[in-house]
């Protein structure tokens, strides 16, 4: 029996990009369902997504990236999907890389697959400060778990049904789910692997990773990792 597959696409004020992103997704995967989580957008992101053929969940207010993603996980669990691909609505994640993300899951070799721009290609410059932040948290993950993750901030991922359930109602960060989410998965015993993917610069608009948010991200992630270490045993019990 074929695995039921879903694309989860969180979106906030992406009306300028989402039609093109969904059209490209549909061109490569015409039979794959996509659910767009409109995170309280003030523009017509939701309407454009519906016009492009996506299922749409419109949140009444902006709850943040992590909350929007977790809403997508809940949708996947409630509707009985076996696998889900998480991708952005701004055009950064190339849908042609989706088969590479799904392959380890379909082969039973992994529970979560991270798409790495550093193992694959990226068509935009990575700011030196952001690259340093990525390397730092990649080092933290490796130090605490022994597993090397080259791109811990990648939002281009594929998750199994069990991983979706693990995150759907608990255990998922509400703000920037990056290194802390990876640690939670690894501590709970999930098999996490990386594959090369292609990423592009966003089609238009501003990234959520600006200078001030970068400072906030470092402080928030450091605190989150400290708290996660204190709760390490709870993630093990949550998987059992």
What are the backbone dihedrals phi and psi of residue 16, each rounded to the nearest 5 degrees, phi first?
-75, -15
* Predicted structure pTM score: 0.87
Band of the pLDDT at 130, cuts 50, 70, 90? Answer: confident
**What ranges make up the beta strands (E) of the chain?**
5-11, 33-38, 55-58, 83-86, 112-122, 157-160, 192-199
Average pLDDT of span 1-14 = 92
Strands in 55-58's sheet, in edge-to-edge order, are 55-58, 33-38, 5-11, 83-86, 157-160, 112-122, 192-199
Specify the range with the lowest mean pLDDT, choosing from 70-74, 134-138, 219-223.
Answer: 219-223
5 in Cβ contact with 159 (< 8 Å): no
Closest CA to 49 of 39, 36, 62: 36
Band of the pLDDT at 240, cuts 50, 70, 90? Answer: low
* Domains, the chain: 5-239 (3.90.550.10)
Mean pLDDT of the chain: 88
Indicate the SS3 state at residue 98: helix
Residue 18 and residue 95: Cα distance in Å, rounded? 13
Question: What's the pLDDT at 105?
Answer: 97
Pairing mode of beta strands 112-122, 33-38:
unpaired
Specify the range with the lowest mean pLDDT, choosing from 84-88, 144-148, 150-154, 226-230.
Answer: 226-230
Closest CA to 194 of 97, 72, 71, 92: 97
Residue 136 and residue 145: Cα distance in Å, rounded? 14
- The string of pLDDT tens digits covering residues 158-216 is 999 999 999 998 888 776 678 888 988 998 999 999 999 999 987 765 555 444 555 66
- The string of pLDDT tens digits covering residues 22-32 is 999 999 999 99
Exposed/middle/buried for residue 112 (C-beta within 10 Å: 0-12, 13-18, 19+): buried
Structure tokens given for 105:
């899951």
Band of the pLDDT at 59, cuts 50, 70, 90? Answer: very high
Closest CA to 158 of 124, 112, 116: 112
Give the HSE-up count for residue 136: Cα atoms under 13 Å, Cβ half-sphere: 12
Question: What's the pLDDT at 205?
Answer: 58
pLDDT at 123 over 80: no
- The string of pLDDT tens digits covering residues 71-115 is 999 999 999 999 999 999 999 999 999 999 999 999 999 999 999
């Amino acid at each position: 029996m074929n695995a039921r597959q879903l694309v989860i696409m969180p979106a906030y004020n992406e009306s300028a990009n989402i039609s093109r992103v969904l059209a490209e997704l549909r061109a490569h995967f015409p039979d794959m369902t996509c659910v767009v989580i409109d995170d309280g957008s003030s523009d017509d992101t939701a309407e454009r997504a519906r016009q492009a053929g996506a299922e749409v969940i419109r949140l009444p207010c902006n709850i943040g990236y992590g909350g929007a993603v977790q809403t997508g996980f809940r949708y996947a669990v409630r509707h009985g999907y076996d696998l889900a691909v998480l991708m952005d609505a701004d055009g950064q994640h190339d849908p042609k890389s989706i088969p590479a993300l799904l392959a380890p899951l379909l082969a039973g070799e992994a529970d979560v697959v991270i798409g790495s721009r550093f193992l694959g290609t990226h068509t935009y410059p990575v700011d030196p400060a952001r690259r340093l932040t990525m390397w730092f948290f990649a080092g933290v993950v490796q130090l605490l778990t022994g597993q090397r993750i080259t791109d811990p901030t990648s939002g281009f991922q594929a998750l199994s049904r069990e991983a979706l359930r693990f995150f759907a109602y608990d255990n998922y960060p509400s703000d920037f789910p990056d290194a802390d989410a990876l640690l939670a998965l690894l501590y709970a015993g999930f098999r996490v692997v990386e594959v090369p993917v292609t990423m592009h610069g966003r089609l238009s608009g501003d990234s959520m990773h600006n200078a001030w948010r970068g400072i906030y991200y470092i402080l928030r992630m450091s605190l989150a990792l400290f708290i996660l270490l204190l709760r390490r045993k709870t993630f093990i019990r949550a998987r059992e």
